Amino acid sequence: MLTRTRWPYPRVVAHRAGGSVAPENTLVALRAAAGLGFAGVEIDARLAACGSAVLMHDATVDRTTDASGPIAEFTADDLRGLDAGVWFGNEYAGEHVPALDAAAVLCHATGLWTNIEIKADDGEEAEAGHVIAREVKRLWPDASPSPLLSSFSEEVLAAAMESVPDLPRALIVRQPPTDWREPVTRLKCRALHVDQQYVTEALIADVHAAGIAIAAYTVNSPGRALVLFEWGVDAVFTDELRDIRADFLTTHDIASPAAPTSTESDAG
C-alpha cells in the first residue's frame, strides 16, 4: 500500500497551458510550458459538435480563433482547420485548435502532468462529464500521478465520477460558498480550486482540515504567490510563467508540504 499525499502534483501549474507566453490551450503552449521547465499544466476541454473533446476555453471560437460562432457548430476536424494562434501573435499563425488526444500525446512526450478542466454549455454538462472523463481515462491509462479532472459544474463532476470513479476530481469555485464541504464531500473531490483573491490562510486551514487540497487560480503576482505558499496553499495556477517559474518554491525556499493524509493508493 502506498502513502497518498494531499497534492501529489506539481505545485506551480501553467494556466491554459501557456499562460501569457503562448496562445492558450494550443500545442505550442504546451511546448512552451515544458520548455520553461513546467511540470504541470491546466487545460480547458469541451465537446465539439462531433462529440469529441477539444481544447477550448470559451463557448465560442470568436476570441481565440480566426472564425466566429458557437463551438457547438464546429466538429473537431473543423476546429483543426481554424487558426488559433494569430490572435495572439503573427508568429503563431497556423497553430490549430487541438483535439484532446493530440494534447495527451504531447503531454506524454514532454512528461507534463495535466489538470483537465471540463467546460460545458448549459444542458450538456452530464454528457461532457461522461465523455471527457472516459476520454481522459483512455488517453492517460497508466499515468502516475493520474491527471486531475476539474470543473465549475457539479453536474460535470457527478457524471465524471459515475463514468470513471477512479479519476481524481476537483471542484472549482470563485468565492467559496459557506457550504463548500457538502459538494466536495458528495463528489469525492480531492481538491478545491479557488479564485486566488478569495483564498485566505483560514480557508486553507479549513480545506486541509477537511482532508483535501486547495489550489489557487490565477496567481500572476510573485508576491501573492509567495504569500499563498507561506499560508500553505498546495498549488497555484499562473499565466506569468516567466515571473512565477516552475522552480518558484525552491528559489523562495518554501518547504514541501503536506504530511501524508492517508494510506490509500497513490494512483488517484
Residues that bind ligand G3P (CB under 6 A): 15, 42, 44, 57, 117, 150, 172, 193, 217, 237
Angle at 210 between CA 129 and CA 159, to 5 degrees: 10
Which residue out of 15, 96, 193, 208 is catalytically annotated? 15
Do strands 40-47 and 53-55 pair parallel, antiparallel, or not at all (unpaired)?
A: antiparallel
- Among Mg ion, ligand G3P, none, residue 237 binds (CB under 5-8 Å by kind): ligand G3P
**What CA–CA distances, in Å, run from 247 to 66, 222, 250?**
35, 12, 6
- Among Mg ion, ligand G3P, none, residue 95 binds (CB under 5-8 Å by kind): none
Asked if 247 and 37 touch (Cβ cutoff 8 Å), the reply is yes
Q: Nearer Cβ to ligand G3P, position 79 or 149?
A: 149
Residue 259's contacts (CB-CB under 8 Å, 6 or more residues apart) are none
Instruction: Cell numbers for 13, please give them.
Output: 501549474
Cβ 50 to Mg ion, closest distance in Å? 22
Number of residue whose CB is nearest ligand G3P:
217
Is 96 among the residues known to form the active site? Answer: no
**What CA–CA distances, in Å, run from 124 to 117, 127, 232?**
15, 5, 36
Number of residue whose CB is nearest Mg ion:
117
Binding site for Mg ion (CB under 5 A): 44, 117
Q: Nearer Cβ to Mg ion, position 5 or 23?
A: 23
Q: Nearer Cβ to ligand G3P, position 246 or 250?
A: 246
Cβ 44 to Mg ion, closest distance in Å? 4
- Among ligand G3P, Mg ion, none, residue 65 binds (CB under 5-8 Å by kind): none
Cβ 6 to ligand G3P, closest distance in Å? 18
Cβ 148 to Mg ion, closest distance in Å? 12
Instruction: Cell numbers for 90, please give them.
Output: 503573427
- Among ligand G3P, Mg ion, none, residue 193 binds (CB under 5-8 Å by kind): ligand G3P
Cβ 88 to ligand G3P, closest distance in Å? 16
Number of DSSP helices (H) and strands (E) in the chain, helices first: 9, 9
Q: Nearer Cβ to ligand G3P, position 58 or 83?
A: 58
Q: Nearer Cβ to Mg ion, position 117 or 239?
A: 117
Do strands 148-151 and 191-195 pair parallel, antiparallel, or not at all (unpaired)?
A: unpaired
Distance, C-alpha 236 to centroid of its chain: 11
Where on the phi/psi map is residue 126: left (φ > 0), alpha (ψ -120 to 50), or beta?
A: alpha
- What residues are annotated to the active site? 15, 57
